[in-house]
Amino acid sequence: MAHATEPQFRRPRPGYTLPVFACAAAIAALRHLHQPVDSLTAVTVDLIEPAETAEIPVEQVAQLPDGSVLAITRSDPGDNLDLTRNTPIWAVVARGDEHQTEPIQLQGGEGIGRQTTAGDKAAIYAYAERLLRENLSQVLSPGETIRVTIILPEGRALGQRTSNAAFGVVEGLSLLGTTGISQPLSAPGQLDIFRSELRQKAAIYNTLVFCVGENGLDLAVQLGVEPDRRIKTANWLGPMLVEAGLQGVSSLVLFGYHGKLIKLAGGIFHTHHHLADGRQEILAAHCASLGLPTADIQTILASKTAEASLTHLRGLDQTPGQNWVKAVYGAIAGRIDQRAQAYIQAHSERRVVVGSALFDRSRQIIITSEIAATLLPQVWYAR
For residue 30, is pLDDT > 70? yes
176-205 pLDDT, tens digit per residue, is 877 787 765 555 556 777 788 888 999 999
Q: Are residues 176 and 193 in the same domain?
A: no
Q: Cβ neighbours of residue 351 under 8 Å, at least 6 residues apart?
A: 245, 341, 344, 345
Percent of the chain with pLDDT over 90: 60
Q: Are residues 253 and 232 in the same domain?
A: yes
The number of domains in the chain is 2
233-268 pLDDT, tens digit per residue, is 877 788 889 889 999 999 999 999 998 899 999 988
Report CA Rg, the chain: 24
> Is 290 among the domain residues?
yes
> Is 2 among the domain residues?
no
Q: Are residues 240 and 337 in the same domain?
A: yes
> Is 260 among the domain residues?
yes
Mean pLDDT of the chain: 88
132, 153, 182: which is the final residue of a domain? 182
Query: What CATH number does the domain containing 164 carry?
Result: 3.30.2110.10
> Is 292 among the domain residues?
yes
Q: Do residues 269 and 275 make contact, with C-beta atoms less than 8 angstroms apart?
A: no
Q: Are residues 270 and 135 in the same domain?
A: no
> Is 129 among the domain residues?
yes
Q: Are residues 207 and 346 in the same domain?
A: yes
Q: Are residues 167 and 195 in the same domain?
A: no
Q: Are residues 196 and 301 in the same domain?
A: yes
Q: Do residues 229 and 208 make contact, with C-beta atoms less than 8 angstroms apart?
A: yes
**Which domain range does residue 303 map to?**
188-379
Mark out the alpha helices in the chain (DSSP H runs).
Answer: 18-34, 126-137, 155-159, 188-202, 214-222, 237-246, 258-261, 279-289, 294-302, 306-316, 324-348, 370-379
pTM score = 0.58
pLDDT computed for residue 7 by the predictor: 46
